[in-house]
Structures are given as C-alpha cells and as structure tokens.
Structure 1
C-alpha cells in the first residue's frame, strides 16, 4: 500500500467517469433506484458482495474478519434543483447533485477498488457504507444515515472507527484538506407546530379562538426564549420558513401550522430547547383558549470528530500527501447525518477543497455550482490510506 497515490492516480479516469454518470442521473431521498443499481454493479465488478440494508442503502465489506474494522462512508442522494451549470453531463430532470454527493460516491468507489486489490494484505476489515437521503427527504421520518445505523451497518463486523470525506466549495482551494477536532457540524431539527383554535366569522372574533394570533405569540416567544434564556455564547438558531393558516380574508380558521428549523452545536442547548419550547407553546395556546402541539422531526444531532482519531488520521494524511491538513477554526452551521455514526463510534470527517476558480462565486446547493474533478483521486487516496493505516497501527 506504499504506492497508494500512484494507484489512486491510475484510477483517476475511472473515478471521474463514475462521477459523471452519477451526476447525470441524480435521484433524491431513499428513491435511488438507478444510483444504487449503478453502485452495486461497480462494486460487483470489483468482486464485492453487496447488501441493501434499507431502501437505497448499500453495504459491502473487504478484508478479514479478525482484527479491527473501519467504516468508510459516502452519501448518494441529490437535491431538488434544476441544474444550470451548462456541463455536457448536466442533469436535466429538475434534480441535481449540488452538494457533491456524486463525487463522494465516486471517491469511495475508487477507494473500494484500491482496498480490494490489497484485500489479502489488510490487517482487519473495512465496511463500505453507501447511504441514501443525507439531505433529509421531507416525506421521510428519519434520514438515510439513521436508517442505515438502525439497520446494523455498524455491526457484523463491529465498527471501531469511521471516516468520511466531503468536497467543499468555495471556501477551500482545490486539493486542500481540512478538518477539526470536536464538533464539526451543527445539529438540526425540523420544528413542526400545530395550533388548534376555534373557527368564527372575521367580523365576530370574540366567538372564535384565533390560531393565527396564537402562532404570532408563539413565534415571538421562541425569539424571546433564545434572546433571554439561552447563553449568548451558545449557538442556537431557530428559523420559521412556513406559517400557514386559513384561505379566506373574513374567516378565522380552525388551525394554523408553523414549520421551522433549529440548529445548535451543543447537545445540552438542543435538549433544553426541546424541553422548553413545547412548554411555551402549550402555555401560550391555553392562555388564548386553544392548544398547541410541538414535534421535532427528522432530527439529526451534532457531528463530532473524535479528537484522538482525528489527530491520528491527520498524521497519516500529512505523511501521504507531504503537506499539512488545515484546521477549521469553528464548527460549521451545516449539518450531516454522519452524526448518527459519530454518536456511536469514533469518527473523522474531512473536507476536501474542490473549488473551480472561475466559479468561486457559487457555493453548495446552488444550481450553478461546479466541483473540480482533478481532486477526486485525492479523496480516494485519503479514504483508502486512512483505513489502511488505522488497521496497520492495530495489527
């Protein structure tokens, strides 16, 4: 495995070809029929046995049963965006790989090829996790990462450590590698509030209980809670992007519905919000004669990089590439459901810069975003080398 850079470079055309096929055929959520079939086919070409452990979620193993086990993860789902890149392999169906998951899948396929070539030499085993629905399909109760963990991806063999790589633009230059110890990404919860009042004619409001008025007070109470009950040094962001009620100007409706998002970077802050906001909403609704129910759905905790593992893997990466791994100064506001893995096993999450200079104005989740394909072999090398060195150190 000393020639891992040479091997990864030798696979560059294949990695890019995989990426382009995936980019041209994006799918969202758990409904990854074409994507999963393509990835399964590529893995079987390499000699892997592949299992689908949840809709769109694939698992394969390489190495020997004895010894430690490392999990390498890639997400495969796209976003409901109409692509506007003008690429010759651009998607055309209103769905787009605007977060780079096509590159993640291609990089893990490259790593899988390298590891399979050296299976007899591996001093342990590697679990390959190709997951659906990292973005969180609104129609699903849980995300793909949680579904795969609940399906047993961390067992048989029991996983001892996990590694993932996410491309990043435009923050980091092409080919650069960054990470940090501790919290890497924020938690996220969808806040779903249903308010029930009593309908009435708009000219006789005293005969009804106005759920719109209750919703307004709940909205302001949540703003006040964050301003006055959360430590100002703790990150806690609650944004409501949808408040819906009624259909007519002169009718007080029976119900109102609020949908928002919560992001925190401290599990204690998140837990306190989960406890306090339902109390506030219910109390406000009762004061006006109505009632309110608060649900937190599609919840994902913070993604945490284990400090000891991360320092170890950074050392291997620096030795491999002959350059330092950059340190991210603070956690990002984004979220990744790799969190469900990092809750259970030591995890390291790397960022790989993929900025195209001429398109640096466009960031992730933008219909114009571009990713530099020349860095993809580096992602494959980083994944394969991380697994190999971790296992070798414990042989």
Structure 2
C-alpha cells in the first residue's frame, strides 16, 4: 500500500492501522470474531450430534418433512430469529439480522430422506416405513441430509451469538425434497425460488455444504464453475399386445421390446457422444411390466436418469433416447411413449465468489485440507439458487481417517454412514463463510 503523504505521516498511519485492525485475508473478519466462531462451533458438537441422531431415527420423504420442519422452526425461534414455515410446502426459513446494516447471505440445508430400508445397525437407525409411488418402502437418511440440518442449526446458534458483530443479514434456508418430488410435481429448491426464498430480503450470495462419505474427516472439497451434473428423468412406455405366455406369437411382446431398448440406450453415451469433450450418463433405474409369470402383459414401462455437463449434450441425449425407443418399438410392431422431465441444471460455483472465499476455507480447515476436485456426475438442486445469485457449494469429508474409500458404503445405499467427528468443521465452515462474506470488502 502506498500513500501520497510525507514519510513520517505514512509510518504513523501504518503503525496505527497495525494496532487498530488486523489486515483482512480474503475478506476474513477480525481475529477476535474468527476465534470466537471457531470456539462456538466446537462447543456445538453435543447438540449437533443429538439433533442429527434424532433426525436420522425419524426420516421423512420429500415434501413430507413435517416433523423435521417443526424441530427446525422450534430451534430457530428459540434463538430469536424471524421464522417462516411452509415455504416450498414444508420448508423453513430463518432470518438473523446483524447488529449493523449490510449485505444478505444465505446458508442452505436439505431435509428429506430416501425410500430405503436401513441396514447400518446403528443404535439410532431408522425403522420408519412409508409408501413411495404406491410401493411400501423403508425411509432412511442415506445421503446425509440429517447431518446438513443439524450442522446448519449449529451454525445458526453460533451466528446468533455473534449477531451484534455481523454487518448484514443471514438467511437460513431449510429445504425439502432435494431428492426430488413425485413425477410431475414441482418441489425442492425450484419451488422455493419460485415462492421468493431469495427475496425479502434479497440474497446477495448463497453457500451450501454436503457431507461426503468417501472423503476424510477434516477435508473440504470444491470446484470452480461446473461441479455437479445436470439431472433429467426419462420414461419409456412400450405399448404392445398381451397374450398367454405359452403363445408368445400371439403377442407384441413389450417386455422383450423394452429389454432391447434398455440395451440400446447404453450405446448413446459410448457410441454417439464425443466423450473427449463432455462426460454424460444414461442409466435405467426401473422396469415395470406384468403381474404374473405366464402372462405377457400389454405394456412395459422403464425409467431412468440422464446426467450431463452442458445443455448441448442434454439435447443430444434427449433426441437419441426418443429416436432409439421409437425405432426399436416400431421394429417390433409396438409403439413407444417417451417422456423427458428436466430436473436440475448444472451445479455451477460462481468463479469470482469461489476465488474470494477460498482463503476462508483454507483458514477454516487448513490449506492442505482444502482440495479442488474433478466434476462429479451426481446432481444437486442447489443449482436453482445458483441460477439466480452467485453461489458456492462445497463437500465436507465424513469418512474416518485411514479408512479405505473403496470399502465405504456409497450415498443412496442402505449401509450409508458418516463419522460424526466431521460436524464441528461443518458448523465452523458454514458460520465462517457467512461471517467472512458479510464482513469482507
């Protein structure tokens, strides 16, 4: 820094500045606030674990998170926050106004569980039963959303205790249905955005955090720009002609036709896309046909997911699925009805915001523990917030150090579990990102 002043005055100015206010690193708050947030975050661990275990034992499917929402709202109200419920059906929003005017930053956690029967053997494992798409299912927090809610509640407690030192407002967004609503139903982040969750007060930036079972505890992972893929649903209904299973020549067999379509869909990525330019995935996840072993049914339906990192690739895949399904169905004397439902866009971390907050993450976790990763074909509806305001989405390590990642149960599986010692860093990261953004220049 240079000054257009005499040397003596410059020296005095520098001396006073050094004693009055430590220099900010990457928009960091003053050292005292930074230290207090770290201390408060560590002190939240017992509460965060208790909240997490309660939520884990009582998971709820998307748009059904009424018990979860009540727990969240009760806690936020106890902190004196302005609380709004029923946002995006079952979402909860808490607003913390700092002691000084300033910008508005949002922190988001998702709340919903998945239709899986848990096999972890944990003392607080879920035994909840429900129905999904007309089928009886277990319900489980198999993607860590219970931990996200608990850590964001912890961050709310931390920030409420330094409220007078914050120049601006923190908006805590607890979102339902990240895993998706029922087919044809708008929900999750998309619905919350439509209902104005980023307005009144208008959000300037948003941060989100996701625990990651195969990354070691103590690590933060991020990627500038495209971090996670877009995700679309597709369905193919094959309409044929039913018959007795002993007389297949009397049928137009939709099961055999659907099987051919499933096999052919696997060539879209491997043979029709330039994989040197863009990655993509086409996966068939469900096949439904018939009710009895010796009856060829009149129709069969399959559904799956599409992942891509650009709109161009998305459009290529959509066209290829339609062309493949219709062509194979016609060749077998059947017809196909193809439906494609865009779900979420690419999770895109704003490059300027990411660069600005990287020193915050490095200071919070230690520079060697902040890792830039390759893009992942997983998807996140956090992307809908990022379409409206600059956003940064980071991953928090949840694997016990020294564990072989290949032995860890994956997200969305019945054995999914995480190490609870990850939580203090998660709470500290959320609180520090918010504080640094508000106090930074």
When normalised by structure 1's length, the TM-score is 0.89
Q: CA deviation at 1:128?
A: 0.8
Count, aligned residues: 393
Match of 1:120 among 156, 161, 164: 164
Q: CA deviation at 1:192?
A: 0.7
The alpha-carbon distance between structure 1 residues 81 and 228, as it changes in their structure 2 partners (threshold 3 A), is closer
| Map of 1:34 onto structure 2 | 67
Contact 2:220 2:365 in 1 (8 A): no
| Map of 1:85 onto structure 2 | 120
Give, in whole Å, the separation in 2 of the partners of 1:86 and 1:198: 46
The alpha-carbon distance between structure 1 residues 131 and 206, as it changes in their structure 2 partners (threshold 3 A), is same
Gaps of 5+ in 2: 1-32, 129-137
Contact 1:142 1:299 in 2 (8 A): no
| Map of 1:161 onto structure 2 | 205
Give, in whole Å, the separation in 2 of the partners of 1:193 and 1:202: 23
Contact 1:141 1:297 in 2 (8 A): no
Kindly report which structure 2 residues correspond to 1:266-305, keeping only aligned pairs within 5 A, or say none.
Answer: 266-297=310-341, 299-305=343-349
Does the residue aligned with 1:39 lie in a helix, a strand or coil?
helix
Match of 1:150 among 185, 194, 205: 194
Kindly report which structure 2 residues correspond to 1:1-395, keeping only aligned pairs within 5 A, or say none.
Answer: 1-2=33-34, 3-52=36-85, 53-63=87-97, 67-93=102-128, 94-138=138-182, 141-170=185-214, 172-199=215-242, 209-233=252-276, 234-247=278-291, 252-297=296-341, 299-357=343-401, 361-363=407-409, 364-394=411-441
Give, in whole Å, the separation in 2 of the partners of 1:29 and 1:255: 29
After superposition, what is the alpha-carbon deviation per residue over 1:222-252, rounded to whole angstroms, capped at 9, x for unaligned? 3333333211222222122333334456655
After superposition, what is the alpha-carbon deviation per residue over 1:38-84, rounded to whole angstroms, capped at 9, x for unaligned? 11111011011221212221111122695422111101112233333
Contact 1:179 1:325 in 2 (8 A): no
The alpha-carbon distance between structure 1 residues 140 and 121, as it changes in their structure 2 partners (threshold 3 A), is farther
Give, in whole Å, the separation in 2 of the partners of 1:262 and 1:214: 21
Give, in whole Å, the separation in 1 of the partners of 2:161 and 2:127: 36
Q: CA deviation at 1:286?
A: 4.1
Q: CA deviation at 1:335?
A: 1.8
Does the residue aligned with 2:202 lie in a helix, a strand or coil?
coil
Give, in whole Å, the separation in 2 of the partners of 1:282 and 1:175: 50
Does the residue aligned with 1:335 lie in a helix, a strand or coil?
coil
Give, in whole Å, the separation in 2 of the partners of 1:376 and 1:264: 31
Gaps of 5+ in 1: none
When normalised by structure 2's length, the TM-score is 0.81
Deviates more, 1:131-140 or 1:102-111: 131-140
